[in-house]
A and B are shown apart, each in its own frame.
Chain A
Amino acid sequence: EVQLQESGPGLVKPSQSLSLTCSVTGYSITSNYWGWIRKFPGNKMEWMGYISYSGSTSYNPSLKSRISITRDTSKNQFFLQLNSVTTEDTATYYCASQWDYFDYWGQGVMVTVSS
C-alpha cells in the first residue's frame, strides 16, 4: 500500500522559505506523478505542482517563480520549496500521488507564516 508522510517546520517567518519533505513508502517515486496540494483556512484547496516519474515538473502559475519541487530517488522522497512566503501561505500542506486526480494523500502538515 502506498503511504505518504509530510514533514517540516510548522512555523515560518515572512519572507523566508518554506521547505517540506514527503516520504513515500510502498511505491517508487520513479513511477507515477507526485504532487503538492494545500488547503487554506476557510477550506479553499489549491494544487501547487507535481514532479513526474522522470523528474520533470509542472507548477501552478499562481505561484509564479516562488515554487520548486525536487526529489531524492535514493530516499524515495520528494520536496517542496516555496520562497518569499507571506501570511497568505498559511495552510495545511499535503503531498499526494497523482494522475489527473489524487489517489493517495499524506496526513498533511500545518504551516503557519508569522513573525
Chain B
Amino acid sequence: DVVLTQSPATLSVTPGERISLSCRASESVDTYLHWYQQKPNESPRLLIKYASQSISGIPSRFSGSGSGTDFTLSINGVELEDLSIYYCQQGNSLPYTFGAGTKLELK
C-alpha cells in the first residue's frame, strides 16, 4: 500500500499568514493526489484534486502543487474558518490511502 506522510502533524497559525502543508508518498503517485478539509462534526470536503486542480466553490486561497512523491497544499491568507484537519489521499493505486492529517490550530 502507498503510505502518505503528512507534516507537520499540527500547525499553529495566525490569521492572514500564508502556510504550506506537506504530503509525501512512499512511491510515486504521479498527480493522483487529492486534498480534503474536515471541520469538527462535519464530513470531509474535497479541496484540490489531481495535485493542483481547483474545485468549484472552494476559496481561491487554497492551492496545491507537486507530482510524484512530494506535494504541498498552500493557504494564502489563513482565515479562522480554515482551522480544521487537512488530509491528503492518493488515487493512483488500490487500495486508496489517506495521510494521517495535519491539524491547523490558532496560535
A60-115: which have CB < 8 Å to B?
A: 60-62, 94, 99-103, 105-108
| B100 A43 Cβ-Cβ under 8 A | yes
Q: Mark B38-54, 1 if CB is under 8 A from A, else 0.
A: 00000111100110000
Give the complex CA separation of A46 and B96 in angstroms: 8
Q: Which residues of A contact B92 (CB under 8 A)?
A: 100
The answer to whether A100 touches B95 (Cβ under 8 A) is no
Nearest CB of chain B from residue A44's CB, rounded to whole Å: 6
Q: Could you count the A-B residue pairs with CB atoms below 8 Å apart for me: how many are there?
A: 48
Report whether A101 and B43 are in contact in the complex, using a CB–CB cutoff of 8 Å. no
The residue of chain A having its C-beta at the shortest distance from the C-beta of B103 within the complex is A43
User: Cβ of A47 and Cβ of B43 under 8 Å apart?
Assistant: no
Asked whether any CB of chain A lies closer than 8 Å to the CB of B97, the reply is yes
Q: Residue of B at shortest CB range from A4?
A: B43
Give chain B interface residues in 53-73, CB to chain A under 8 Å. Answer: none
Could you jot down 20 A-B contacts, CB within 8 Å? A43-B100, A43-B101, A45-B89, A46-B98, A47-B95, A47-B97, A58-B94, A60-B95, A61-B95, A99-B91, A100-B92, A101-B34, A101-B49, A101-B89, A101-B91, A102-B36, A103-B49, A105-B44, A105-B45, A106-B43
- Give me the 8 closest cross-chain CB pairs, A-B, nearest first: A100-B91, A45-B98, A105-B43, A101-B34, A47-B96, A60-B95, A101-B49, A43-B101
Q: How far is the CA of A45 from the CA of B45 in the complex (A)?
A: 14
Tell me how far the C-beta of B65 lies from the nearest C-beta in chain A, rounded to whole angstroms: 17
Q: Which residue of B lies closest to A62 (CB)?
A: B95
Cα distance, A6 to B46, chains bound together (Å):
19
| B3: Cβ under 8 A from any A Cβ | no
- Which of B32, B89, B95 neighbours the largest number of chain A CB atoms within 10 Å of its CB? B95
Interchain nearest-CB distance for A10 vs B (Å): 15
